[in-house]
C-alpha cells in the first residue's frame, strides 16, 4: 500500500522530480479531473519574490511540477527587491480567462498593493497587469483571499475583514460589500457550508501561528456574526495559518478541506509545510474537531503510515551531531516531538555503503522541529524510492529559528533541539 496516496500534514512533500513542493500562501483550482496548486515559490535564504509556482495532481497526493507561472518581473511592483505573497487564481466565467491575484510589497512591508495577472490557460505563462483598482485607485491592502460564489460572482477578501465584489471580468473592484468585520485579522478565506458563508481569519503574529477564528453570515454582504475558534483552543490551529478551503469529493461524500500553512522562517522552501484537514459544521458551528496526521482524500478517512517501526531515540541540540539510520525499503518516515525549543535538522538519504554527496538519492533539506503548540508526530516522510538499501541521516544545524516583526516584537524558538523518536520503514 503506497503511503503517497495519503495526505500527511506538517511534513515536506515531494513532487515528481523529487524536490519539495514549494507552493505556499496559495490556493487550489480543480479543472478537468486535476487539482492545480498555486503558491509562493519560496527560497531557503531570504524572504523575497522568486515567482509563483503551479503543480497538478489527480488525487491531492501525487504532485507534478508544471512551471513557474509568474516569474520575478524585470522591474516594477513584482520586480527585484519586492515581496510577492498570497497568490490566488480564479477562472472568470464571463471571459474564460484565469485571473491571478497577489500581494505586492517592498521588503519592509510599507508599500502594499493588490495586483493581478491573466492567462488563457490554467498553467500557462501569466501576464502581469499591475495593481487592481477600485474607483481608479490602487487597492493598498496586503493579506488577501478570494471566493467565487455559486453564481460566478468573484470576491476579494483582505485583512481586517474588508470584502470587495469584483467586476464581471474580475479585472477591477466593482464595490465594497463588507468593511472591518474582523479588525486585527489577516489571512482571510471563505467557505460555503450548511447554507451559510464562513469566513476564516488568523490573528497577526508574523510567521508564527495562533488560534484562528471564524465568522458566519447568510450572504457575503452580511450581517457577519463572530463564531469563535474553529480548532481546539491552544492548538494554534494545528500549528498553522488559514489559507484556503477546498471542496473535495470522497467516496463518502463531499468534504470541506481546510488548507493551512505551517510557516518556517527563515527556511521556507523546504521546511515550511502544509496542514490539510477536514472541516465540518456541527450544531451550527464550524469545526476542525479532530487532527488527522495522515488521511486519504479518496476515502476521507484517517490512514496511518504503515511499516516496520525502528527505535531511534536521538535527542540533541549540538550543531553537527547526527544520527544515521540504515534501512531496506521504498520509503521511510520519522516521528518525534516538536515544541518551542525545537530547531532545524538537515535530513537526506543516500545509498547504503556510499558516503559521497554525489551518491545522495534524496538531497538534504531543512526539516523543522519547532512548534508553538507541542506536537508529537510525523516530522519527515521521504519520497517513494525503488526498494533497496539506504541510509537516512539527520544532522542538527544548531540554528535557533527566531525573528522580529517590523515593530521589534520577537517570535520563534528558544532552542535548537532535534528530537527523533522512531523511523517507520515501508517496503
In a domain, 301, yes or no: no
Question: Is 145 within a domain?
Answer: yes
Q: Report the alpha-carbon distance of residue 231 to residue 239 in Å, rounded.
A: 10
pLDDT digit string, tens, across residues 210-255: 999 999 999 999 999 999 999 999 999 999 999 999 999 988 889 9
Write the CB contacts of 290 (distance below 8 Å, at least 6 apart in sequence): none
pLDDT for residue 156 is more than 80 = yes
In a domain, 129, yes or no: yes
Distance CA(412)–CA(235), nearest Å, equals 16
In a domain, 300, yes or no: no
Q: What's the longest Cα–Cα distance across the chain?
A: 67
Question: CATH no. for residue 313?
Answer: 2.60.120.260
Rounded to an integer, what distance in angstroms lies between the CA atom of residue 165 and that of residue 222? 13
38 in the same domain as 167: yes
359: β partners: none
Say if residue 337's pLDDT is above 80: yes
Grid cell of 232 as nine digits: 481546539
Please return the burial class of 327, using the count of CB atoms within 10 Å of its CB with bins 0-12, 13-18 and 19+: buried
Q: Is the pLDDT reported for residue 356 higher than 70? A: no
Same domain flag for 247 and 375: no
Same domain for 370 and 288: no
Among the three residues 270, 295, 320, which one is the final residue of a domain in this structure? 295
Assess whether pLDDT exceeds 50 at residue 3: no
For the chain, the average pLDDT equals 95
What is residue 2's predicted lDDT score, i.e. its pLDDT? 44
The answer on 321 and 279 residing in a single domain is no
302-333: pLDDT as tens digits: 999 999 999 999 999 999 999 999 999 999 99
Same domain for 248 and 374? Answer: no
- Are residue 44 and residue 113 in the same domain, yes or no? yes
Residue 386 in this model has a pLDDT that exceeds 70: yes
pLDDT tens digits, residue range 359-384?
Answer: 899 999 999 999 999 999 999 999 99
CA distance to 65, 174, 333, 401, 413, per residue, from 398 (Å) = 32, 51, 22, 9, 12
Q: Which of 390, 385, 412, 387 is nearest to 401 (CA)?
A: 412
Is residue 302 in a domain? no
Residue 207 pLDDT > 50, yes or no? yes
Residue 303 belongs to some domain of the structure: no
238: left (phi over 0), alpha (psi -120 to 50) or beta: left
Nearest residue to 257 via CA among 249, 245, 243:
245
Residue 4 has pLDDT above 70, yes or no: no
Q: What percent of the chain has a predicted confidence (pLDDT) above 90?
A: 92
Of the residues 264, 295, 326, the one at which a domain ends: 295
Q: Which of 263, 295, 327 is the last residue of a domain?
A: 295
Over range 134-152, report the average pLDDT.
96
Q: The domain containing residue 363 runs over which residues?
A: 308-426
Task: State how far the Cα of 104 lies from the Cα of 129, in Å rounded to an integer.
Answer: 12
Indicate the pLDDT class of residue 15, thresholds 50, 70 and 90.
very high
Examine the domain organization and report whether 261 and 350 are in the same domain. Answer: no
Higher pLDDT, 194 or 20: 20
Look up the pTM and report it: 0.96
Give the Cα separation of 144 and 156 in Å (integer): 7
**What CA–CA distances, in Å, run from 199 to 60, 145, 187, 190, 217?**
23, 10, 10, 4, 9
CATH of the domain at 18: 2.115.10.20
| Span 15-39, average pLDDT | 97
Q: How confident is the model at residue 353 (pLDDT cuts 50, 70, 90)?
A: confident
Quote the pLDDT of residue 358: 56
Total number of domains constituting the chain: 2
Q: Is the pLDDT of residue 176 over 70?
A: yes
- Specify if 402 maps to a domain: yes
Average pLDDT in the 140-157 region? 97
Kindly state whether residues 15 and 108 are assigned to the same domain. yes
Position 359 scores a pLDDT of: 80
Same domain, 381 and 240: no
Are 124 and 216 part of one and the same domain? yes
Beta strand 34-40 with 322-329: parallel, antiparallel or unpaired?
Answer: unpaired
Residues 278 and 319 in one domain: no
Contacts within 8 Å (CB) and 24+ apart, 28-31: 28/244, 28/246, 28/259, 29/89, 29/90, 29/91, 29/98, 29/122, 30/246, 31/91, 31/122
Same domain, 248 and 383: no
How crowded is residue 41: how many other Cβ atoms within 10 Å of its Cβ? Answer: 23
pLDDT tens, residue by residue, 63-77? 999 999 999 999 999
Amino acid at each position: 500500500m503506497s503511503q503517497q496516496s495519503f495526505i500527511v500534514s506538517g511534513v515536506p512533500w515531494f513532487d515528481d522530480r523529487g524536490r519539495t513542493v514549494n507552493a505556499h500562501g496559495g490556493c487550489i483550482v480543480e479543472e478537468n479531473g486535476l487539482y492545480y496548486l498555486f503558491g509562493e515559490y519560496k527560497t531557503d535564504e531570504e524572504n523575497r519574490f522568486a515567482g509563483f509556482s503551479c503543480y497538478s495532481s489527480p488525487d491531492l497526493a501525487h504532485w507534478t511540477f508544471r512551471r513557474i507561472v509568474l516569474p520575478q518581473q524585470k522591474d516594477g511592483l513584482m520586480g527585484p527587491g519586492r515581496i510577492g505573497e498570497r497568490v490566488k487564481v480564479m477562472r472568470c466565467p464571463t471571459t474564460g480567462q484565469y485571473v491571478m491575484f497577489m500581494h505586492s510589497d517592498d521588503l519592509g512591508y510599507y508599500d502594499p498593493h493588490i495586483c493581478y495577472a491573466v492567462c488563457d490557460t490554467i498553467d500557462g505563462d501569466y501576464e502581469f497587469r499591475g495593481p487592481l483598482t477600485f474607483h481608479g485607485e490602487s487597492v493598498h491592502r496586503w493579506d488577501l483571499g478570494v471566493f467565487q460564489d455559486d453564481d460566478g460572482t468573484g470576491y476579494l477578501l483582505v485583512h481586517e475583514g474588508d470584502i470587495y465584489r469584483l467586476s464581471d471580468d474580475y479585472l477591477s473592484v466593482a464595490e465594497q460589500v463588507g468593511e472591518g468585520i474582523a479588525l486585527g485579522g489577516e489571512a482571510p478565506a471563505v467557505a460555503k457550508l450548511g447554507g451559510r458563508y464562513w469566513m476564516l481569519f488568523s490573528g497577526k503574529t508574523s510567521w508564527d501561528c495562533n488560534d484562528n477564528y471564524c465568522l458566519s453570515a447568510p450572504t457575503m454582504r452580511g450581517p457577519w456574526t463572530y463564531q469563535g475558534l474553529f480548532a481546539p483552543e491552544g492548538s494554534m490551529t494545528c500549528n498553522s495559518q488559514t489559507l484556503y478551503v477546498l471542496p473535495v469529493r470522497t467516496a463518502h461524500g463531499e468534504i470541506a478541506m481546510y488548507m493551512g500553512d505551517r510557516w518556517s522562517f527563515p527556511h521556507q522552501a523546504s521546511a515550511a509545510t502544509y496542514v490539510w484537514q477536514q472541516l465540518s459544521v456541527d450544531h451550527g458551528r464550524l469545526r476542525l474537531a479532530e487532527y488527522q496526521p495522515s488521511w486519504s482524500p479518496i476515502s476521507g478517512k484517517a490512514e496511518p503510515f504503515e511499516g516496520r517501526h525502528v527505535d531511534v531515540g536521538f535527542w540533541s541540540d549540538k550543531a553537527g551531531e547526527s544520527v544515521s539510520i540504515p534501512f531496506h525499503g521504498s520509503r521511510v518516515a520519522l516521528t518525534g516531538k516538536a515544541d518551542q525549543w525545537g530547531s532545524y535538522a538537515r535530513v537526506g538519504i543516500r545509498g547504503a555503503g556510499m558516503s559521497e554527496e554525489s551518491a545522495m538519492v534524496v538531497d538534504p533539506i531543512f526539516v523543522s522541529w519547532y512548534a508553538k503548540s507541542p506536537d508529537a508526530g510525523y516530522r519527515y516522510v521521504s519520497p517513494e524510492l525503488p526498494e533497496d538499501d539506504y541510509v537516512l541521516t539527520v544532522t542538527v544545524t544548531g540554528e535557533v529559528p527566531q525573528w522580529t516583526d517590523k515593530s521589534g516584537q520577537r517570535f520563534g524558538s528558544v532552542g535548537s533541539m532535534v528530537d527523533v523518536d522512531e523511523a517507520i520503514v515501508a517496503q
